[in-house]
Amino acid sequence: MPKSVSICVIGSGYVGLVAAVCFAEMGHTVTCVDNDEAKVKTLRAGGVPIFEDLLPDLLAKHRDKVEFTTDLASAVERSEAIFIAVGTPQGDTGAADLSYVEAVVSEIARHIGSYKVIVEKSTVPVYTNEWVSRVLHRHGVDPKFFDVVSNPEFLREGTAVIDFLHPDRIVVGANSERSADVLKRIYAPLTDGTYYDQPGALPGPCSAAHPARVIVTSAQSAEIIKHASNAFLALKISFINAVGNLAESVDADIEDIALGMGLDSRIGPKFLRAGLGYGGSCFPKDVAAFHWVAQKQGVNFELLQEIRKINETQREVFFNKVLSALWTLRGKRLAAFGLAFKGDTDDIRDSPAISVIKKLLEAGASVTAFDPAAMDRAKDVLPPSAKMNYASDMYEAAKDADAVLILTDWKEFASIDLVKLNQQVKFPIIIDGRNLYKPKDIEAHGFTYVSVGRPASYHAQQGKPRGLAS
């Protein structure tokens, strides 16, 4: 493969850690810096602080090529490219809080003695590249010693490693040829296909014959590409949920509608899944930050506000489904399948599941939850109590439940043994916020089934409750 580049990644969170090990997989020498000494100690010992498929394998494989440290000065001095992958949480106004980025840039400035490419890997608003340059200038760094590049990530939790190594596109926002060339050298194993010919290369959609594609733009364009991409995906989710609510009101089936729409090559099927709406660390804050940027630039982009409103309303819609199916919630025992914001991750940030469970508890219900990965994190925000319990598996969670709620789209939930589940519950009622099942299949196993954007399916022995919405 092409010559190795010395890379520093600042931040060992979700983006930083995945980037660090994937750069090592591509043949580069990587130093990953974090100011959390406990996390660095865990990583040095081979521990993995986040739940992500293939990440433990790559960390074990490249322990000799990825150094974890708290010494930012040394890492900056010996690196050609410095990737900033620290948090940019949402502030009170909706804007991204860039204080962590500024603090890191100020520290980098103290240790630049030769040319460095400073790369925005964190999700940041447009013109952040200019502010990073200003901070470096204010600290007396000679302009000939640095360039600032935007290289946004497009990773999905649960498939982040494959997304990194087999990307739909690699976006490099560089305002100088010199800095663009450094990024091209870094990603050359993917863009010239040499990585995919290596023994042990992780398989995916890219190959030596069809390598990854790199797009070089201005830094400003790259920054907008990231926000615009996430906002558009959020739009698709909110749009199909709004259509789902309409479909349900006229006894249509949103699954059929989404199929009919998605087969149009101009639309595509991805993200046309009706349900509880989006959550996680990216879509909510990125939509809000993109709207804030538009407002600051004097651009009327109220569509972004509507995306957020529909998404927030969808959780209330699901809560009302539970209420309609059970009449009252006080004293009811509910089984909650799922706590993470989506399957294949332990991330509970802005999880619709957590939001719904909090409302159910406030309404007087008791909840027993199960999630394959997210229970430890959930206990920090939903501590065990007389009304909030955690189970070791799905069937334990469902024991004597008045209803089973599907809140996260884990594959395990879609393949549950319905006969065994029926034997565990007090009443055979499933309220599915992820549309994991076909109504006829559930009804055939004796369940009343309420889902999103489809007519409710009431088992003959139970019947449809009068005067209540389906």
- Which tokens hold the place of 143? 């302009």
258 half-sphere exposure, CB direction, 13 A CA radius: 25
Query: Residue 47 is part of a domain; what is its CATH number?
Result: 3.40.50.720
The Cα-based distances of 445 to 185, 335, 420, 421 in angstroms read 57, 18, 10, 10
Domain boundary, last residue among 288, 309, 330: 309
What is the dihedral angle through the alpha carbons of 338, 54, 45, 26, rounded to the nearest 10 degrees?
Answer: -140
Q: Is residue 258 part of a domain?
A: yes
Domain boundary, last residue among 217, 248, 279: 217
Same domain, 67 and 94: yes
Query: Interior CA angle at 388 toward 433 and 309, to 5°?
Result: 40
Same domain, 278 and 407: no
67 half-sphere exposure, CB direction, 13 A CA radius: 15
Same domain, 235 and 321: no
Same domain, 32 and 173: yes
The residue among 340, 341, 329 whose CA lies nearest residue 429 is 329
Same domain, 180 and 299: no
Q: Is residue 467 part of a domain?
A: no
Same domain, 247 and 373: no
Same domain, 236 and 332: no
Q: Is residue 459 part of a domain?
A: no
Gap between the Cα atoms of 9 and 16, Å rounded: 6
Domain extent for 96: 6-217
Number of independent structural domains in the chain = 3
Q: Is residue 373 part of a domain?
A: yes
Gap between the Cα atoms of 329 and 393, Å rounded: 24
The Cα-based distances of 394 to 22, 368, 424 in angstroms read 34, 10, 10
Query: Interior CA angle at 17 toward 15 and 23, to 5°?
Result: 95
Q: Is residue 281 part of a domain?
A: yes
Instruction: For helices 219-249 and 254-262, give the axis angle rounded to 10 degrees.
Output: 140
Q: Has this prediction a pTM greater than 0.85? A: yes
Burial 355-379 (b: 16+ CB within 10 A, else e): bbbebbbeeebbbbbbbbbbbebbe
The residue among 55, 53, 69, 68 whose CA lies nearest residue 21 is 55
The residue among 141, 148, 140, 145 whose CA lies nearest residue 122 is 148
Query: Residue 298 is part of a domain; what is its CATH number?
Result: 1.10.1040.10
Gap between the Cα atoms of 128 and 126, Å rounded: 6
**What are the pLDDT tens digits along the chain (470 aa)?**
568 999 999 999 999 999 999 999 999 999 999 999 999 999 999 999 999 999 999 999 999 999 999 999 999 999 999 999 999 988 888 888 999 999 999 999 999 999 999 999 988 989 899 999 999 999 999 999 999 999 999 999 999 999 999 999 999 999 999 999 999 999 999 999 999 999 999 999 999 999 999 999 999 999 999 999 999 999 999 999 999 999 999 999 999 999 999 999 999 999 999 999 999 989 999 999 999 999 999 999 999 999 999 999 999 999 999 999 999 999 999 999 999 999 999 999 999 999 999 999 999 999 999 999 999 999 999 999 999 999 999 999 999 999 999 999 999 999 999 999 999 999 999 999 999 999 999 999 999 999 999 999 876 555 554 444 44
C-beta separation of 340 from 356 below 8 A: no
List pLDDT tens digits, range 355-381. Answer: 999 999 999 999 999 999 999 999 999
Q: Is residue 75 part of a domain?
A: yes
Helix (H) or strand (E) run with residue 30 in it: strand 29-33
- Which residue is catalytic, options 8, 22, 206, 282? 282
Identify whether 282 is a catalytic site residue.
Answer: yes
Position 155: which residue type? L
